[in-house]
């Protein structure tokens, strides 16, 4: 009788021991703790994705891609022209008060100018008004009848002829292109759109 009880207890102990080990293994498999290596990999991936994360807006013939970081609005703009292409940010009416960035490519060189909408139907360089050309990283190309320019502008340049831009904000934008390589000729095409989250 005593022998049988000891055997029974030993058997139960073995059974319980096996059961708790199995339960422990299952718990580990079902909810693995992230290791420090896993976390590092995830952070790297996020940073890599941010570098290529441009928003895209197609408005008629115009394509604008943009992203913001803490300091700058980065833009890539293209239109089917061998002349100038331009973006105007936040006009008050028609072209007035818009912050214009105009660019063209001529002889393999890119020309980009920081302009201001000084009336409903005209613009002039910020530098002629006492402001500055605050456009950085000016680049561009012209191929197959399409002109592409890229640049970055400060979210707050401190120039009264530029806009203060809030990431995530909603902005009216206007686009235009002309067929000449200059900053003064009239547009061939123009359109307007709204950016819902800058």
Which residues of the shown chain bind ligand HEM in the complex (CB under 6 A)? 86-88, 94-95, 100, 102, 121-123, 174-176, 184-187, 190, 192
CB of 135 within 8 A of CB of 153? yes
- Cβ 139 vs Cβ 133: under 8 Å: no
Phi, psi of 165 (to 5 degrees): -105, 135
Residue among 19 and 191 whose Cβ is closer to ligand HEM: 191
Handedness of CA 119, 75, 130, 110 (dihedral sign): negative
C-beta closer to ligand HEM: residue 127 or 192: 192
Q: How far is the CB of 88 from ligand HEM (least distance, A)?
A: 4
Beta bridge pairs of residue 101: 87, 114
- In the complex with ligand HEM, the residue whose CB is nearer, 163 or 187, is 187
In angstroms, the Cα distances linking 89 to 63, 96, 171 are 15, 10, 7
Closest separation in Å from C-beta 95 to ligand HEM: 5
Closest CB 115 distance from ligand HEM, rounded Å: 7
Pick between residue 34 and residue 65 the one whose CB is nearest to ligand HEM: 65
């Amino acid at each position: 009788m005593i022998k049988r009880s000891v055997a029974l207890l030993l058997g139960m102990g073995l059974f319980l021991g096996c059961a708790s080990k199995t339960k422990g293994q299952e718990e580990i498999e079902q909810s693995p703790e992230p290791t420090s290596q896993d976390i590092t990999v995830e952070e790297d991936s996020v940073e890599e994705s941010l570098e290529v994360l441009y928003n895209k807006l197609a408005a008629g013939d115009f394509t604008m891609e943009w992203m913001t970081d803490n300091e700058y609005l980065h833009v890539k703009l293209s239109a089917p022209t061998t002349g100038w292409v331009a973006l105007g940010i936040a006009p008050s009416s028609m072209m007035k008060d818009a912050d214009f960035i105009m660019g063209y490519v001529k002889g393999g060189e890119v020309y980009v100018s920081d302009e201001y909408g000084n009336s409903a139907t005209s613009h002039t360089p910020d530098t002629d008004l006492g402001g500055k050309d605050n456009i950085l990283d000016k680049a561009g190309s012209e191929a197959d009848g399409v002109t592409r320019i890229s640049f970055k502008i400060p979210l707050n340049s401190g120039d009264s002829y530029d806009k203060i831009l809030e990431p995530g904000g909603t902005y009216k934008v206007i686009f235009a292109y002309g067929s000449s390589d200059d900053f003064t000729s009239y547009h061939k095409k123009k359109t307007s759109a709204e950016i819902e989250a800058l």
